[in-house]
């Protein structure tokens, strides 16, 4: 078993294996070299760990034990082989056919491979177990710190607040009694008719008034308990802030990366990716320029953009990765099949779109085709027709081009051949392609343009219709062009060669971020 930094074997001297909090194991010598200013960065996952020296990183005793066990097994295996050879030489030699010898060697090689794999799995399990021990230790430390810094002070404050509450209740009762005495003294003073009665009533009233004033003064002086109130407010603010951070962590759109389940990835690789994803917040920016861990989520198909419709219901758009480009699929009312997905707000993703030069895509399928064929269309210049096409690709306003079929081929086989598409059922929202925005462009293959129309012949059935030229038409122009096929023109040409182009379906659509 080797250190992944220096590639030397672990030993019991200067290269003893040590594990660091992220779960990875390196030799003591390399960790000493990596330690700078009381911290080091993991060479595998780049996680930063603070420690005064490498002694804070425990020795990986399980790894050392595994190394010893492997050494013993090899020694026993060599001894067994030597013994077998000796017995064979001393006993009667039996002839083994070449075929059996070959099968024997193949079996030995196969078993050696399995044995080496077992050793690697043992190593992975030992490293993972060491990481679990460290994580458990961290949890214990956090509980101790939280108990000392928050739980114990909170319990003490609860007791002191209860005492303060009882003091107020006692003072309250005392005040009620004094107030009753004042009322009686005031009544006696009002009822006094003789000089003696008046003198007596005034004396009694003066005493009651003095006690009431003293009670008022003690209330003003004693309440609130300033130190207690300050501690209570500070601790409650601390709790509120901690809960806010915890809530944000639970609602940051992340989840357990269950796509790592299975045997595709090694145990250390899974731990590394889990560690990376736990500290990564999925944002529009991180999706547009995804790193290794975010790429794994996109490849697994577990990232979705979420948008609420006018009725407050969630709509979902899958976000995937194709040729290192992040792709936003069209919105749909159907929720992801699994609840274990990462989500980001649709409006955040929308802000990453290139509004002036948007790249859209259409995935085409037809019965004779065994795979989806993607067509990329670059929209330019910016136009009302282009903006409408984006909305039809994203489904932002309700309807989309997904699950719609091509309508016809015009001028089939001749100059200016083109396909007509864009028919959809307007279940939600409304078609919003306005009249106008005529852009002249040469009639070459790949030009995408809207249906030319005039007010007298305009039909609402054509609001979402668009054409894509599949052949050049020399000396001609399209006056409503709003885009150009960037890749996938061959798929459109293949579609025109079908007997019935209406079987061609746009299975998926969206935009490239």
Please write the tens of the pLDDT for every residue from 130-189. 888 888 988 999 999 999 999 999 999 999 999 999 999 999 999 999 999 999 999 999
Minimum mean pLDDT range among 91-95, 360-364, 508-512: 91-95
Categorize the per-residue pLDDT at 439 as very low, low, confident or very high, splitting at 50, 70 and 90: low
Q: CB-hemisphere CA count at 13 Å for 276?
A: 20
Q: What are phi and psi of 376, to 5 degrees?
A: -100, 130
Indicate whether 396 and 491 sit together in one domain: yes
| Domain stops at, among 350, 384, 404 | 350
Q: What is the pLDDT of residue 419?
A: 94
Q: Are residues 336 and 413 in the same domain?
A: no
Q: Residue 351: pLDDT band by 50, 70, 90 thresholds?
A: confident
Rounded Cα distance between 216 and 222, Å, is: 10
Q: Are residues 469 and 399 in the same domain?
A: yes
Residue located via tokens 């909090």 = 21
Among residues 412, 391, 387, the alpha carbon closest in space to that of 469 is found at: 412
The whole-model pTM stands at 0.63
pLDDT score of 127: 83
Let me know if residue 155 belongs to a domain: no
Residue 503's pLDDT is: 93
**Banded model confidence at residue 87, pLDDT cuts 50, 70, 90:** low
Residue 111 maps to a domain:
no
Q: Which of 368, 448, 435, 369 is nearest to 401 (CA)?
A: 448
Cα–Cα distance between 428 and 431 in angstroms, integer?
Answer: 9
C-alpha–C-alpha distance, residues 49 and 57, integer Å: 10
In this predicted structure, what is the pLDDT of residue 61?
Answer: 81
Q: What pLDDT score was predicted for residue 453?
A: 53
pLDDT of residue 153: 94
Question: Is the model more confident about 200 or about 79?
Answer: 200
61 located within any domain: no
Same domain flag for 499 and 388: yes
pLDDT band of residue 424 (cuts 50, 70, 90) is: low
Q: Judge contact between 484 and 377, C-beta under 8 A.
A: yes
Residue 317 in any domain: the answer is yes
Q: Say if strands 314-322 and 505-512 run parallel, antiparallel, or are unpaired.
A: unpaired
Residues 499, 376, single domain; the answer is yes
**Highest mean pLDDT (candidates 51-65, 217-231, 279-293, 423-437):** 217-231
Both 298 and 185 in one domain: the answer is no
Q: Which residues fall within 8 angstroms of residue 242, CB to CB, at 6 or more apart?
A: 150
Domain contains 192 = yes
Chain-centre distance of CA 480, in angstroms? 42
Assess whether 179 and 277 both reside in one domain: no
Q: Are the C-beta atoms of residues 418 and 410 closer than 8 Å to each other?
A: yes
**321 and 445 share a domain?**
no
Tell me the pairing of strands 505-512 and 447-450.
unpaired
Query: Which of 175-179, 277-281, 320-324, 425-429 shows the lowest per-residue confidence on average (mean pLDDT)?
Result: 425-429
- Asked whether residue 462 carries a pLDDT value surpassing 60, the answer given is no
Domain-terminating residue out of 250, 282, 304: 250
Model confidence pLDDT, tens digit, residues 373-389 = 999 999 987 778 888 88
CA–CA gap between residue 353 and residue 393 (Å, rounded)? 13
Is the peptide bond prior to 222 cis by the omega test (within 30 degrees of 0)? Answer: no
Q: What is the pLDDT of residue 83?
A: 53
> What's the CA gap between 377 and 395, in Å, rounded?
16
pLDDT band at 428 (very low <50, low <70, confident <90, very high): very low
Confidence of residue 370 (pLDDT cuts 50, 70, 90): confident
Which residues of 276-428 form beta strands (DSSP E)? 303-308, 314-322, 325-329, 342-345, 359-365, 373-379, 404-405, 408-410, 418-421
**Residue of higher predicted confidence among 486 and 292:** 486
Share of the chain above pLDDT 70, in %: 88
Place of tokens 């357990």: 256
Does some domain include residue 398?
Answer: yes
Residue 211: the pLDDT is: 94
Strand partners, 327: 320, 512
Q: What CATH number should be reported for the domain holding residue 402? A: 2.40.100.10
181 found inside a domain: yes
239 shares its domain with 270: no
What is the SS3 string spanning 276-310?
A: HHHCCCCCHHHHHCCCHHHHHHHHHCCEEEEEECC
Q: What is the pLDDT of residues 202-241, one digit of tens each?
A: 999 999 999 999 999 999 999 999 999 999 999 999 999 9
Q: How far apart are CA 472 and CA 444, in angstroms?
A: 4
Both 402 and 484 in one domain: the answer is yes
Domain residues for the domain of 229 are 169-250
Q: Looking at residue 455, what is its pLDDT? A: 44
Closest by Cα among 232, 271, 230, 279 to 252 = 279
Angle at 499 between CA 496 and CA 502, to 5 degrees: 70
What is the average pLDDT value for the chain, to the nearest integer? 84
367 shares a domain with 508: yes
Where does the pLDDT of residue 460 fall: very low under 50, low under 70, confident under 90, or very high at 90 and above? very low
Most confident option among 34-43, 69-78, 81-90, 144-153: 144-153
**pLDDT tier at 435, thresholds 50, 70, 90:** very low
pLDDT of residue 167: 95
Asked whether residue 141 is domain-assigned, the answer is no
How many domains does the structure of the chain reveal? 3
Give the end of a domain, one of 190, 221, 250.
250
Same domain, 421 and 303: no
């Amino acid at each position: 078993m080797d250190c992944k930094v220096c590639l030397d074997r672990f030993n019991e001297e200067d290269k003893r294996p040590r594990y660091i909090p992220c779960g990875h194991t390196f030799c003591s010598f390399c960790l000493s070299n990596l330690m700078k200013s009381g911290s080091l960065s993991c060479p595998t996952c780049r996680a930063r760990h603070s420690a005064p020296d490498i002694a804070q990183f425990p020795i990986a005793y399980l790894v050392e034990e595994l190394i010893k066990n492997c050494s013993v097994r090899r020694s026993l295996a060599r001894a067994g082989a030597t013994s077998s050879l000796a017995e064979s030489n001393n006993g009667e030699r039996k002839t083994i056919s070449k075929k059996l010898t070959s099968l024997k060697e193949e079996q030995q090689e196969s078993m050696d491979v399995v044995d080496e794999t077992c050793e690697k799995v043992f190593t992975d399990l030992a490293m993972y177990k060491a990481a679990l021990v460290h994580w458990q230790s961290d949890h214990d430390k956090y509980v101790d710190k939280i108990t000392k810094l928050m739980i114990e002070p909170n319990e003490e404050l609860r007791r002191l607040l209860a005492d303060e509450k009882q003091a107020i209740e006692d003072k309250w009762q005392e005040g009620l009694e004094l107030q009753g005495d004042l009322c009686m003294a005031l009544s006696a003073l009002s009822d006094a008719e003789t000089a003696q009665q008046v003198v007596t009533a005034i004396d009694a009233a003066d005493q009651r008034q003095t006690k009431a004033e003293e009670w008022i003064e003690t209330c003003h002086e004693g309440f609130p308990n300033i130190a207690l109130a300050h501690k209570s407010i500070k601790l409650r603010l601390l709790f509120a802030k901690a809960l806010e951070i915890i809530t944000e962590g639970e609602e940051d759109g992340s989840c357990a990366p269950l796509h790592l389940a299975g045997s595709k990835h090694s145990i250390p690789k899974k731990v590394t990716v889990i560690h990376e994803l736990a500290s990564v917040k999925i944002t529009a920016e991180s999706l547009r320029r995804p790193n290794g861990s975010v790429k794994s989520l996109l490849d697994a198909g577990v990232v979705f953009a979420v948008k609420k419709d006018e009725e407050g219901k969630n709509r979902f758009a899958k976000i995937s990765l194709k040729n290192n480009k992040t792709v936003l699929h069209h919105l749909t009312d159907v929720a992801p099949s699994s609840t274990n997905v990462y989500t980001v707000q649709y409006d955040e993703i929308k802000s990453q779109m290139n509004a002036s030069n948007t790249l859209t895509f259409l995935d085409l399928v037809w019965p004779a085709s065994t795979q989806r064929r993607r067509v990329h269309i670059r929209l330019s210049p910016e136009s009302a027709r282009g903006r409408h096409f984006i909305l039809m690709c994203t489904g932002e306003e309700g309807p989309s081009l997904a699950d719609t079929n091509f309508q016809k081929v015009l001028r089939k086989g001749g100059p200016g051949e083109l396909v007509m598409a864009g028919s959809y059922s307007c279940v939600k929202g409304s078609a919003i392609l306005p009249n106008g925005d005529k852009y002249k462009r040469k009639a070459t293959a790949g030009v995408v343009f809207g249906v030319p129309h005039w007010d007298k012949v305009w039909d609402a059935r054509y609001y979402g219709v668009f054409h894509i030229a599949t052949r050049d038409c020399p000396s001609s122009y399209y006056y409503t062009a709003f885009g150009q096929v960037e890749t996938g023109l061959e798929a459109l040409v293949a579609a025109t060669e079908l007997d019935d182009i209406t079987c061609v379906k746009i299975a998926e659509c969206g935009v490239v971020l």
